[in-house]
Chains A and B, each alone.
Chain A
């Protein structure tokens, strides 16, 4: 039968003698069985739910390619640039490893942003998934730090100047700012100690990310997955087993995602990079425009939208930390935007604003670029601190379906049609 048995989770009953022996000592196969085979997933999950799996895959890709690259890379200001070129030229398939790793970072962020927007659209952060969401924000923060340090390692012009600009942000801290920056650099300018510690941390943090991913998945398995209708599964008619249903669906979209990934890696590997990063780092020459990687551009635009340096840094940090408050800022009891007609509109405007901020972050901070960056920044924060709290009070939400299976059946009918009587819908 496709669904779970009547008596809940079927437990793992190994037939193989060795597996029985192992299961009594370390029930790891049983854990995999209950978490990834019979684990019930809502039957109405759409393809936006496959990005969690894609992110796990991308983390694995980054760690595997990164470890091999680390075997050939030299974290020294005199050798870093040339050692990357050595990887590109003389290491077997070094070009493939490096392009996978460099573009993999971009794909990782792309998947993370889609994953987060999905969570916001369907209200996946709401009770009882607040901790799950906050762990996700911590993962984003770790990814931002790790990605930034990775970008510094090739020691090109953009590497060097990005490191200089970003570490200098800490000088905005009152009183101790300058000392903090010197401490971060390990000297009085970005130099060899800086490159060395960035390398060490860039190697360390992915494993911290992996550990937080474990907590994230754990929290997910406790609360269960949210779903496009934002109502909890009630009977086994509302769920399907993780394997084969979620596995095959995830595998298919992961392959489609790999096609996009391969497009970048094999055909336009330098599309997302900046040409200046193929110029060796030169502290004496400042590039015309210092631009961070595309995935930081919205935050960079927020930073530069504020005329005061300290307040700009505060806004930058706040733009990420505000996400941790999201479960409490959103006062609506209804999770999914499907049943929140007003929230849905504001959500899409929010998406447009985030993309707009990204575009503005790539432009020089002058003229109308700054004006629009300010307008968009105001919307960004207003969305969290004004729109979400107020919407929950004033919005007239649509009728929720009685159950997930009922929602699936009603698809294609106008929302709001009276629900068919629940009698006979589920097995008792």
Chain B
């Protein structure tokens, strides 16, 4: 028994010490993106329409110069749980874009104004064109908010699971957009044509700092700062990556309430059914058969 206990104690000790010892060897970066308060976080989370509309404005006026949004159609702007545009507004946005269509009866491609069913057109005809211009291919932003994350590690991921922290992507994008530093730290050699960003892996990012204060005009009184822009575009990109988030959380709560009540009912039914079995067999036999539940 004592031998056995000590085996367990040693094993648990080894398991607890192992991470500490192992981590001495890994040179992880210290600057980790901060957690923001998002309207869409948590079990009752919902997108903030105003924020999505501001973020969309930032996308259109800044990001869209280089970054595509190919999985989003103009009709999506009027989808419930999103930006809250009416169909006419979405139509008006679509009409501002030139969409290549064709071939026509003469066998030629032609351009026409966008319709609701069209998708956001790509900023470059192909990757080579992008690389020729910027020496890099700017990634499409349709699912970027889910394609980026923050390495959390043990034990933080356990708390993340309990607190439902699923906003690593937007937090990373927000931090990245504000993470530029004009002067890289001493000893860091920045490759030509790149910029220092403390949150970007390996820190040398080809994208120049895209945002500056007052760059995008807000008409709803929100501060026109890089910080606000960064948050708004991140929220918009989260919507682009997960357009049914509102519905998912709403249905989730209904499912949860159902499951908890149903599980509770099953628990008490189980208790009732098993009540007889949990008795001593002698006690069982002492009762008149009429009292037994019929199997």
Show the binding face of A for B, using Cβ within 8 Å.
Answer: 1-2, 38, 43, 82, 85, 88-89, 95-96, 99, 237, 240-241, 243-245, 248-249, 251-252, 255-256, 258-259, 262, 265-271, 275-276, 278-279, 288, 341-342, 344-346, 348-349, 352-353, 355-356, 359-360, 363-364, 366-369, 372, 375, 405, 409, 424-427
Contacts and interface: CB of A to CB of B under 8 A. Distances in A.
Label chain B's interface by main secondary structure: helix
Interface in B209-267: 241-244, 247-249, 251-253, 255-256, 259-260, 262-263, 266-267
Nearest to B285: A427
A349 B4 CA distance: 10
B156 interface: no
B11 interface: yes
Interface of B: 1, 3-5, 7-8, 11-12, 14-15, 18-19, 21-22, 24-26, 43, 71, 76, 139, 142-144, 146-149, 154, 157, 160-161, 164-166, 168-169, 201, 241-244, 247-249, 251-253, 255-256, 259-260, 262-263, 266-267, 269-270, 273-274, 276-277, 280-282, 284-285, 289, 292-293, 295
Nearest to B147: A278
A243 B148 CA distance: 49
A92 B72 CA distance: 17
For B11, B144, B255, the residue with the greatest tally of chain A CB atoms inside 10 Å of its CB is B11
B244 A95 contact: yes
A363 B8 CA distance: 24
A342 B252 CA distance: 45
B147 A271 contact: no
Given A252-B267, A348-B8, A352-B15, A270 B273 contact: no
A414 to B, nearest CB: 13
Given A245-B274, A345-B4, A405-B281, A96 B251 contact: yes
Contacts of B260: 259
A243 B8 contact: no
B292 A270 contact: no
B248 A96 contact: yes
A85 B248 CA distance: 16
B263 A368 contact: no
Given A85-B143, A259-B263, A275-B146, A267 B164 contact: yes
Contacts of B154: 359
A278 B146 contact: yes
A275 B21 contact: no
Given A89-B243, A345-B5, A367-B22, A265 B143 contact: no
A363 B23 CA distance: 10
Contact of B269 (A38, A241, A248, A348): A248
Given A248-B266, A409-B280, A425-B281, A271 B148 contact: no
Contacts of A366: 25-26
Contacts of B263: 252, 255-256, 258-259
4 closest A-B pairs by beta carbon, nearest first, are A266-B252, A367-B25, A345-B4, A278-B147
Contacts of A249: 270, 274
B155 to A, nearest CB: 11
B266 A266 contact: no
B201 A288 contact: yes
Contact of A278 (B19, B241, B244, B255): B241
Contacts of B165: 268
Contacts of B282: 424
B8 A266 contact: no
14 contacts: A2-B295, A85-B71, A244-B273, A252-B266, A255-B259, A268-B160, A271-B157, A275-B146, A275-B147, A345-B3, A348-B8, A355-B15, A372-B22, A427-B285
Contact of A43 (B146, B161, B277, B293): B277
B164 A268 contact: yes
A275 B169 contact: yes
Contacts of B262: 255
B295 A241 contact: yes
A252 B270 CA distance: 7
A244 B166 contact: no
A273 to B, nearest CB: 9
A427 B286 CA distance: 13
A275 B252 contact: no
A98 B228 CA distance: 33
Contacts of A355: 15
Contacts of A409: 280
B82 to A, nearest CB: 11
